[in-house]
Amino acid sequence: MRIVIAGGHGQIALRLERLLAARGDEAAGIIRRREQADDLRAAGAEPVVLDLESASVDEVADAVRGADAVVFAAGAGPGSTVERKETVDRAAAVLLADAAERAGVRRYVIVSSINADSGHEGDGVFDAYLRAKGAADDAVRSRSALDWTVLRPGALTDDAGTGLVNLAEKTGRGPVPRDDVAAVLADLVRSPETAGRTLELIGGSVPVTDAVHAAGQDA
């Protein structure tokens, strides 16, 4: 498979790229800064330099054309402004969806967040983040031309992955290692039976592959 990852230099994305490369898939990561390219190559991924805050739909479509799946793992990140929650966490996700449709790439997996909600109230930056992620999810889920899956991890940690998760429509709050989020994403991109699902993810007791398979059977 060829998988293109938006936000290719992110912590989850780099982990995902290593997993994909290790199993023989072709990974490409969209990055904003050229100096990040060597990190992607070290992870076994092809760097694609493109700023999703200024790129056109056609430019992004060219970057994803021929892919079997796209993954939206970009984010404005901690310390960013309310404005960038809108331009990255929401608008860039919508741009990738538009580009996937234009390029004929149906499989679209988006990394969201537990409690993402376009109607979330509050004036803080994290409130804006949850609104932006919720609005992005809504926009992706409205696309009949996409086989989408929304993945909503709990509190992300840098603990070593256990390979054991709780993946369901509702899990409640809880932590999850980034390693395990990447492992779930690696299985989701090749599990089209999970299309049309919004899934929460926290640490648990079920092996990743079994959890993804069960999520597809529950559809």
Residue 184 has pLDDT above 70, yes or no: yes
Residue 74 has pLDDT above 90, yes or no: yes
Question: What mean pLDDT comes out for the span 209-217?
Answer: 95
What pLDDT sits at residue 218? 72
Residue 219 has pLDDT above 80, yes or no: no
Residue 54's contacts (CB-CB under 8 Å, 6 or more residues apart) are none
Separation CA 218–CA 107 (nearest Å) = 19
What pLDDT sits at residue 135? 96
What pLDDT sits at residue 98? 97
Tell me which residue has tokens 């989408």: 148
What pLDDT sits at residue 210? 97
What pLDDT sits at residue 80? 79
The structure's pTM equals: 0.95
Tell me which residue has tokens 């929401």: 90
Residue 182 has pLDDT above 80, yes or no: yes
Least confident of 9-13, 77-81, 213-217: 77-81
Q: Are 83 and 50 in contact (CB under 8 A)?
A: no
Tens digit of each residue's pLDDT (9 = 90 or more) over 129-173:
999 999 999 999 999 999 999 999 999 999 999 999 999 999 999
Output the average pLDDT for the chain: 95
- Tell me how long the chain is: 219
Confidence of residue 88 (pLDDT cuts 50, 70, 90): very high
